Amino acid sequence: MTAIRTDARSASGTPTEAEIRTNSASATTHVDVLIIGAGVSGIGAAHHLRENFPHRSFTILETQESFGGTWLTHQYPGTRSDSDLFTYGYRHKPWAGPSIARAEPIREYLQEVIAEDDLADHIRYGHRVLDVTWDSADGQWTATVARETDRADGGDSTIRYSASFLWMCNGYYDHESPYRPEWTGEEDFQGTIVHPQHWPTDLDYTDKRIVIIGSGSTATTVAPVLAQDAAHVTMLQRSPSYYFIAPTVHDLSAALEPLDLPEEWTHEILRRQYIKQTDEIVTLSREQPDAAREFLLDGIRAAVPEDVDFEKHFLPDYRPWQERLVAIPDGDFFTQMQAGKLTVETDTIERFTERGVLLASGEELDADIVVTATGMTMTSFANIPFTVDGEPVDFTDRITWRGMMITGIPNMAFALGYFRYSWTLRIDIVNDLLARILTHMEATGATTVTPALRAEDDGMERRPWVDPDNVSAGYMVRALDRLYRQGDRAPWQQMLEYDHEREVFPTVDITDGLSYS
Which domains does the chain show, CATH number per domain?
3-175+378-516 (3.50.50.60), 186-372 (3.50.50.60)
**β pairing state of 364-366 and 192-194:** unpaired
pTM for the whole thing? 0.92
Angstrom CA distances, 293 to 71, 118, 275, 286, 333, stand at 31, 46, 20, 11, 20
Q: How far apart are CA 7 and CA 16, in angstroms?
A: 12
Q: How far apart are CA 13 and CA 3, in angstroms?
A: 14
Cis before 491? omega within 30? yes
**227 Cβ neighbours under 8 A, 6+ residues apart:** 233, 336, 339, 341, 342
Ordered per-residue pLDDT tens for the chain, 517 residues: 233 222 233 444 555 554 444 444 458 999 999 999 999 999 999 999 999 999 999 999 999 999 999 999 999 999 999 999 999 999 999 998 999 999 999 999 999 999 999 999 999 999 999 999 999 999 999 999 999 776 555 555 799 999 999 999 998 888 888 899 999 999 999 999 999 999 999 999 999 999 999 999 999 999 999 999 999 999 999 999 999 999 999 999 999 999 999 999 999 999 999 999 999 999 999 999 999 999 999 999 999 999 999 999 999 999 999 999 999 999 999 999 999 999 999 999 999 999 999 999 999 999 999 999 998 888 889 999 999 999 999 999 999 999 999 999 999 999 999 999 999 999 999 999 999 999 999 999 999 999 999 999 999 999 999 998 888 888 888 988 889 999 999 999 998 999 999 999 999 999 999 999 9
462 DSSP assignment: P
Query: What confidence score (pLDDT) does residue 156 get?
Result: 58
Q: How far apart are CA 322 and CA 378, in angstroms?
A: 17
Q: Phi first, then psi: what are they for 105, rounded to 5°?
A: -60, -30
Is 234:344 a contact under the CB 8 Å cutoff? yes
